[in-house]
Amino acid sequence: MTLLAVEGLDARHGYLRAVRDITLDVSEGETLAIVGANGAGKTTLLRAIAGAHKPSAGRISFDGAEITTVSPHRRVKLGIALVPEGRRLFTGMTVEENLLVARRRGRPGPWNVESVLEVFPLLAPRRKARAANLSGGEQQATAIGRALMTNPRLLLLDEASLGLAPAVVDGVYRSLRTLIEGGATIVLVEQDLTRALSVATRVVCLLEGQIVVDGPAKEMTRERIVEAYFGLRRTRGQEGAPA
């Protein structure tokens, strides 16, 4: 079942057209990885889906209902949660307080402080620590946990590995696999192709705000994605499609 549908979406930063006529669907239970170089439009696309960036054209539908003009907080109530690049925690609050703040904004469901700590066990001994005193990995886990506390149907995750040591990223991705195995629907923006391919069921590559590759992760090669990533080849769908 299609959970998210984006049709002909454009988004701008002033005169810059950051997202150009993007159309894509995300099925329930799917893990979609969006990859591309810096400036490709990945974060803008995620923010537009979450309602944090107003599109200049196109439509966004969620569970069959159009939400293009729906406010960000209403989208949270509908079941869309964004983990932004840079985490944006309340640094003066503890881990537990950051989680509980999000709980008040979300939907009824199974996620609570204890279930988040089960998925992110590194946070259990840190639940009373202020976010400002956490390591980068602990902050990222808290940011994802905060989104889960809203009981989302769709989790939008922007740059999960950015700025983290490889060993820390391993832990974050182990937790993501737990979510995926539990049936979560995730749209993941990631610059690390190896990480993205390790969890995704489908991969979309953006170049200059447009989709240049879209296909099942199991059919993708690193070489094909890298070619699209740097604009060496423009394809969508099957190998050999016209540019």
Pairwise CA distance, residues 196 & 159, whole Å: 10
Specify the pLDDT at position 215: 94
Tokens, residue 208: 């200059």
Contact criterion met (CB below 8 Å) for 32 and 3:
no
80, HSE (Cβ side, Cα atoms, 13 Å): 27
Pairwise CA distance, residues 121 & 231, whole Å: 41
What pTM, to 2 d.p., does this model score? 0.88
Q: For each of the chain's 243 residues, which pLDDT tens digit applies?
A: 899 999 999 999 999 999 999 999 999 999 999 999 889 999 999 999 999 999 999 999 999 999 999 999 999 999 999 998 877 899 999 999 999 998 877 888 999 999 999 999 999 999 999 999 999 889 999 999 999 999 999 999 998 888 788 888 888 888 889 999 999 999 999 888 888 899 999 999 999 999 999 999 999 888 888 888 787 654 444 343 332
Specify the pLDDT at position 233: 55
Length of the chain: 243
Phi and psi, residue 191, nearest 5°: -90, -20
- CATH architecture of the region 2-229: 3-Layer(aba) Sandwich (3.40)
Specify the pLDDT at position 83: 93
Specify the pLDDT at position 228: 84
What does the longest C-alpha to C-alpha distance in the chain come to?
56
Specify the pLDDT at position 88: 84
Specify the pLDDT at position 164: 80
